[in-house]
Chains A and B, each alone.
Chain A
Amino acid sequence: MAAPLTLLVIVAVTIRAVLFRSSLAELISERVEVVSPLNSWKRVVEGLALLDLGVSPYSGDVFHETPLTIYLYHFVIDYAEIVCMIADGITAVALYLAVQVYNKNVFRKQKYALEADRYPHDCLELMQTPKELFYVPLKVAMFYLLSPFTILSCVAKSTCGINNAIVALFVLCTIKGSALLSAIFLALATYQSIYPITLFAPALIYLLQRLYIPVNLRRQSFWLFTLQYAFMFVGSLVVIVGLSFFLLGSWDYIPSVYGFILSVPDLTPNIGLFWYFFAEMFEHFRLFFICVFQINVFFYTIPLSIKLKDHPVFLMFMQIAIISIFKSYPTVGDIALYMAFLPVWSHLYRFLRNIFMVSCVLLACSALFPVLWHLWIYAGSANSNFYYAITLLFNVGQVLLVSDYFYAYLRREHHLSHGLYLKKKDGSEATLVLK
């Protein structure tokens, strides 16, 4: 399987290299859908220039990267394009390996369950065959590397690619079962953009499951491991934060990065839900609604963790998707990350209900973004409402997509325990309804 993966990486790198050399690169790096104030390359350059002049990069209101990122770029500024491509490559390979291990586990579990005769007999057709599973990791890598969203994000030299790589490495380490590395990468991801902290729950559940520790609040072993993992996470976070402080010699970056993410002062239009809402709002409601919007991102962790406590990897996917939909400055690069996971759930295809409609909506919206932007900004004939309408539709599409997968996953699990052909009490055929 290494050969197709290598080929894929070569194709992906070629596409990116060609685009980097074309006149499109400049156009793409200006698009609000692709870069946000958080990860725009222009701002990184500005921050580096300030750093070189001996001024704090966070003076002024332009630069919002973390100190570690700026020091990384300080050394590789001349090879920025290569770094972006390497980051994409790392993400793809990490996801590839992670999914490979995950699928092996799934298949093993399925085999044991079949041998123990735990599934109802009519559920055989729901089983995942090795043939199907074999190509899934490659498809995941392909979905990430060849997705137009990732390509755009990479060509714009958005630092989103690096964040994605960190999250992907975190997923890989978690699935491989290395608690320490998992905690370190989780701390790094959290340090980069706060939101990944919600991935703590799925990672913990996965690691517990791996060690055969039941999720039971009364068990001592559960608390022991939780504390251990939390300690590793907090410890590495403290180390990273402290390191940043020593690199710059000031705490300037805390308000400039995390304050910027949480209080959303920059209302440049993007594909998220924040900008229009807060541009329209009266100032004195702002704090309240910021709290509501931000809590919204974190809130789903609790119910989802309870519902999906036996399926941590799916929970991880759900969390990544929710973050990229509801975060304050989303870009298409974030979307590409969770969409790369979709092939893993391809066995849910038969239970998806709105996939056709949703993919049409997402497709149409992606094409309409630049058109309405043109009409609003250049032609002056449309206005921000047009653009926001598309943003809203795009996000509704994404929410429907994710909830569709959620429903399909639960439905398959239900069938696996209750049989595929459900009967009502009177013997007639029953259908499952989500209410």
Chain B
Amino acid sequence: MFQDRMGLLSDPNRRRALTNLLTRLNTPICVLCYLAGVAWFMGLAFEPFTLRTYMSENAMGSTMVEERFPAGERALVTAREFGAHKRKSGAMPVDWLVKTMQSRGLEVYTQSFSRRLPFPDENKERYMVRGTNVYGILRAPRAPRTEALVLSAPCSPDNSNNQAVGLLLGLAQYFRSQIYWAKDIIFLVNEHDLIGMQAWLEAYHHTNITGMDWAPLHGRGGSIQAALSLELSSDVVTSLDLVLEGLNGQLPNLDLANLFYTFCQKQDILCTIQEKLQRSDWDSVSGYSQAVQTMALMVLKQASGRPWGDHGLFLRYHIESATIRGINSFRQYKTDTTTVGRLLEGMFRKLNNLLERLHQSYFFYLLPSLSRFVSIGYYMPAFGFLAVILLLRALDLWVQLGALPSVTEDGVGVTDQSSSPSLVSILTPVVISHLTGAALYTLPVLSQELAVQHFPVSETEAVVLTAIAIYTAGLALPHNTHRFMLAEGTEQGWRVLKLVAVLYLAVLLSCTALINFSLGFILALTLVPVAAFVTPHVPKVLSAVVMVLLAPGCTLLYCVFAFQELQEAPVSLIDGWMLFLSVISQGMLDHALYGSLVYPLLALFIYPCWLILWNILFWK
């Protein structure tokens, strides 16, 4: 085998045969690879191809715990009291919370924070955000308090998460009376959902990544091992939904999902992921389609790079965390708060048993259902097939470049390369594209005031519309790029440029796919065909239309529609467009507030790369 490989590298005849094969059959192989990539991805959701989830962590698997939480009703009373105080004060009732937590026997602290958004957030109607986090620490009676667990419940002015706060306080009271805790348990009520969470986490870890103002914490537990965020807004629930997708597509260790699933089964609670119930008939079309939809939703959510629950920010600090969201639909079968409390009790007791951070199970996975998973080894080939296309095209271009001045593969018989393209003609489009990307990244937020003065739009609209305007203006670039170029573009020139672009795209997508598979895969699905087919010699108008339709901006639009479709909330074209605009503004806000990387990635790298390909289409 090894000798064979070495032979392939050193034996010119065999190399020539291989290269000939790859260049002659390049297009069919590329098409085949693309289809294989898509087919592989679709196959991932098919149950026989997936693995059953299993608990890998020894400390959580073998021990038995008995749940005895009794006080569901009392928690609901507390929740109503909390709701009343919240209505009365119009914001989070900090004093009441402090008093209640203190009466439950916790060490209570508050933390105030403030944050000015780069531009108003119209979805949540906030611009200047001021708030206070309240948290109580239950000190571990049985261990040296070097580790901690967090249970959090968000409290925003708009949503009514009262039941979650009530249950949190009820659990605090109950946990206080137990003696088996070996880790501090921190009960956190954070205001303004993610912004408050961000402030608390930054203060807890003494970092300041996003330039936010927050007061330092006065009380601290040990290093946080795991965290659960609770969202309940009704007295009874029909099912519990597990949310895993965190910032930049990071996922918690799969064992946390396994833990949730095990206890849901034990407590006989209906549990879902992506709000889709698992079906038992995997071999039927509808069963398979359900699995595909669940997985596709996960891919879309992960690709968005935003935290889909308050847990999403913990992951950045290497803390395994998930959000548990109560759903109340029209189903007959209801679960009361006591049972939900017992579920959380069970999960916390198991987490309490941990000897080290969760690390045994997978960090890279996709879930077609809660009981089945696809690990990195199974899903990476889907991306691999798409990435291979780029490499094959690059190889083809390389051979063509070598062939033009009549080189045989063995290096014999070269004529002097007099027509090699000048460096300037290659660098100009690359530099100009990247400058456009930099403009797309910086200008929208910087120029909002100017735009508001001159056009009848709000700040948010101004930002989004400026971004779209710059994006569209980029399409006119090839025309202007040519003015800067002194020499005529040559046949060689576009080939070199395309080689650069294709390799650049390949490296870019591989890096993206490693960090966030879903984002890399979605971008590869639309960008790889563009990169593969574009040359100056294809029909201009048709190709231009196709290229625009496969551009990153349009990909985002499709994703918005697909997401709504999969969530069974289809939207009309106009609503979809409005949603698209709000997604753009949310993306920018996520970047500014939490440090999500999707917007800079798209603006600074992916879009310029696409522009280079666009330049090739209009090469003169």
Known contacts A367-B507, A371-B511; is A360 also within 8 Å of B12 by CB? no
Residues of chain A within 8 A of B410, CB atoms compared: 431
Cβ B511 vs Cβ A368 within 8 A: yes
Q: Are A363 and B10 in contact (CB under 8 A)?
A: no
B515 lies within 8 A of A374 (CB): yes
Contact indicator B514/A372 (Cβ below 8 Å): yes
Task: Give complex CA distance A194, B340 in Å.
Answer: 67
CA distance A382 to B359 in the complex (A): 10
User: In the complex, what residues of B have CB within 8 A of residue A354's CB?
Assistant: 9
B258-266, B292-300, B347-355, B390-398 - interface stretch: B390-398
Decide yes or no whether A248 CB sits under 8 A from chain B: no
Cβ–Cβ contact A375 & B510, under 8 A: no
Q: Does A350 interact with chain B (Cβ within 8 Å)?
A: yes
Question: Are B510 and A353 closer than 8 Å at their CB atoms?
Answer: no
Minimum CB distance partner of B407 in chain A:
A350
CB distance from A411 to the nearest CB of B (A): 8
Chain B 509-544 interface residues, beta-carbon cutoff 8 Å to A? 510-511, 514-515
Whether A381 pairs with B364 at a CB distance below 8 angstroms is yes
Complex: A380 Cα to B357 Cα, angstroms? 10
Given contacts A363-B503, A363-B507, A364-B510, contact A431 B363 (CB under 8 A): no
Give chain A's interface residue range (CB within 8 Å of chain B): 20 to 34
Other-chain residue from B316, B359, B414, B511 in contact with A367 (beta carbon distance below 8 A): B511
Q: With A375-B515, A380-B363, A434-B10 in contact, do A360 and B407 touch (Cβ < 8 Å)?
A: no
Q: Chain A, 351-367, contact with B by CB distance < 8 Å: what is the 0/1 string? A: 11110100010011001
A380-435: which residues lie under 8 A (CB-CB) from chain B? Answer: 380-382, 400, 407, 411, 420-421, 431-435
Q: A125-B414, A381-B364, A421-B412 are in contact. Are A353 and B10 (CB under 8 A)?
A: yes
Complex Cα spacing A426 to B318, Å: 69
B216 CB to nearest chain A CB (Å)? 23
Nearest CB on A from B91, distance (A): 35
**Interface membership of B122, Cβ < 8 A:** no
User: Quick one: closest B residue to A420, CB to CB?
Assistant: B412
Contact A353 B511 (CB under 8 A): no
Residue of A nearest to B514 (CB): A371
Given A350-B407, A363-B507, A367-B507: A433 touches B363 (CB 8 Å cut-off): no
User: Which residues of B are found within 8 Å of A431, using beta-carbon distances?
Assistant: 12-13, 410
| A356 contacts B395, C-beta separation under 8 Å | yes
Tell me whether B15 is interfacial, beta carbon within 8 Å. yes
A381 vs B365: C-alpha distance when bound (angstroms): 11
Given contacts A368-B511, A371-B515, A379-B250, A353 and B398 within 8 Å (CB-CB): no
From the candidates B250, B363, B407, B507, name the one contacting A364 in the complex (CB within 8 A).
B507
Identify the closest chain A residue to B399 (Cβ): A356
Complex CA–CA separation, A382 to B363 (angstroms): 8
Contact A380 B318 (CB under 8 A): yes
Give A191 to B395 CA distance when docked, in angstroms. Answer: 45
Asked if B565 is at the interface of the complex by the 8 Å CB criterion, the answer is: no
Residues of B within 8 A of A356 (CB): 394-395, 398
In the complex, what residues of B have CB within 8 A of residue A364's CB?
506-507, 510
Q: Are A381 and B391 in contact (CB under 8 A)?
A: no
Q: Which residues of A contact B503 (CB under 8 A)?
A: 360, 363
B175 to chain A, nearest CB (A): 27
- Considering the chains assembled together, what is the distance between the CA atoms of A44 and B391 in angstroms? 43
Give every chain B residue within 8 A of A382 (Cβ-Cβ): 363
User: In this complex, what residue of A is CB-closest to B16?
Assistant: A431
Given the contacts A353-B9, A354-B9, A381-B364, A360 and B514 also touching, CB distance less than 8 Å: no
Task: Determine the chain B residues whose CB is within 8 A of the CB of A367 once the complex forms.
Answer: 507, 510-511
Nearest-neighbour CB distance to chain A for B25, whole angstroms, equals 19
Q: How far is the CB of B208 from chain A (nearest CB, A)?
A: 14
The docked-state distance in angstroms from the alpha carbon of A353 to that of B12 is: 8
The chain B residue sitting closest to A129, CB to CB, is: B416
Q: Find out whether the CB atom of B11 lies under 8 angstroms from the CB atom of A433.
A: yes
Q: Which residues of B contact A353 (CB under 8 A)?
A: 9-10, 12, 15, 411
Known: A375-B515, A431-B12. A368 touches B510 (CB 8 A): yes
CA distance A431 to B364 in the complex (A): 48
A337→B407 CA distance, assembly (Å) = 31
Rounded to whole angstroms, the CA-CA distance of A380 and B395 in the bound complex is: 35
**Distance A382 CA – B376 CA, assembled complex (angstroms):** 11
Residue interface bits B7-26, CB-to-A below 8 A is 1, else 0: 00111110100000000000
Quote the shortest CB–CB distance from B296 to chain A (angstroms).
22
Query: Residue-by-residue, is B349-380 near A (CB-CB < 8 Å gives 1, otherwise 0)?
Result: 00000000101000110000000000000000
Interface residues in B320-368 by Cβ distance below 8 A to A read 357, 359, 363-364
Shortest C-beta distance, B493 to chain A (Å), equals 18
Asked whether A433 and B10 contact (CB < 8 A) given A353-B15, A371-B511, the answer is yes
Say how far B444's CB is from chain A's closest CB, in angstroms. 22
Chain A residue numbers with a CB within 8 Å of B398 are: 356
Residues in B whose Cβ lies below 8 Å from that of A363 = 503, 507
Q: Is the CB of B363 within 8 A of A381?
A: yes
The complex places the Cα of A247 from the Cα of B491 at a distance, in Å, of 64
Tell me the smallest distance from the CB of B244 to a CB of chain A, in Å. Answer: 13
Please give me the residue from chain A that is nearest to B398 by CB atom.
Answer: A356
| B514: contacting residue among A368, A378, A400, A411, CB under 8 A | A368
Q: How far is the CB of B13 from chain A (nearest CB, A)?
A: 7
Of residues 32 to 84 in A, which have CB atoms within 8 Å of B's CB atoms?
A: none
Indicate whether A350 sits within 8 Å of B411 (C-beta atoms), given known contacts A360-B503, A368-B514, A371-B515. yes
Bound together, the chains give a CA A354 to CA B15 distance in angstroms of 10
Q: How far is the CA of A351 from the CA of B407 in the complex (A)?
A: 11
Instruction: Say yes or no: B394 contacts A360, CB within 8 Å.
Output: yes
Chain B 486-512 interface mask (CB, 8 Å, partner A; 1/0): 000000000000000001001100110
* Contact pattern, B 393-426, Cβ under 8 Å of A = 1, otherwise 0: 0110010000000010011101000000000000
Bound state CA distance, A222 and B398, in angstroms? 48
Within 8 Å CB of A378, what residues of B?
316, 318
Residue in B closest to A431 when the chains form the complex, CB atoms: B12
Q: How far is the CA of A127 from the CA of B62 in the complex (A)?
A: 75
Residues in B neighbouring A360, C-beta threshold 8 A: 391, 394, 503
A133 to chain B, nearest CB (A): 14
Minimal beta-carbon separation of A421 from chain B (angstroms): 7
Residue pair B414, A350 in contact (C-beta under 8 Å): yes
Bound together, the chains give a CA A255 to CA B536 distance in angstroms of: 63
Please indicate the chain A residues that have their CB under 8 angstroms from the CB of B507 in the complex.
363-364, 367
Q: Give chain B nearest CB distance to A405 CB in angstroms.
A: 13
CB distance from A372 to the nearest CB of B (A): 7
- A400: B residues at CB distance < 8 A: 9
Write out the residue numbers on chain B whose beta carbons fall within 8 Å of the beta carbon of A375: 514-515
Cβ contacts under 8 Å, B316 to chain A: 378
Which residues of chain B come closer than 8 Å to A368, judged between CB atoms? 510-511, 514
Which residues from B are CB-within-8-Å of A381?
Answer: 250-251, 363-364
Give complex CA distance A433, B15 in Å: 12
Q: Which residues of A contact B395 (CB under 8 A)?
A: 356
Q: Which residues of A contact B13 (CB under 8 A)?
A: 431
Nearest-Cβ distance from residue A168 to partner chain B, whole angstroms: 25
Chain B min CB distance to A2 (Å): 22
Tell me which of A356, A407, A433 has the highest count of chain B C-beta atoms within 10 A of its own C-beta.
A356
* Chain A residues positioned under 8 Å from B412 (CB to CB): 420-421
Separation of A372 and B315 alpha carbons in the complex (Å)? 17
**Quick one: which of A253-302 are within 8 Å of B by CB?**
none
Distance in Å: Cβ of B501 to nearest Cβ of chain A: 13
CA A411 – CA B10 in complex, angstroms? 13
A374 to chain B, nearest CB (A): 7
Return A351 CB to nearest CB of chain B, in Å: 5
Contact residues, A199-258 vs B (CB, 8 A): none
What are the residues of chain A within 8 A of B250 when measuring CB–CB?
A: 379, 381
Given contacts A353-B9, A368-B511, A380-B357, 7 further A-B contacts (CB under 8 A): A353-B411, A360-B391, A371-B515, A379-B318, A379-B515, A432-B12, A433-B11
A–B Cβ pairs within 8 angstroms, 6 of them? A372-B514, A374-B515, A379-B363, A380-B318, A381-B364, A432-B12
Q: Which 7 A-B pairs have the closest CB atoms?
A: A381-B363, A350-B411, A380-B318, A371-B511, A434-B10, A367-B507, A351-B411
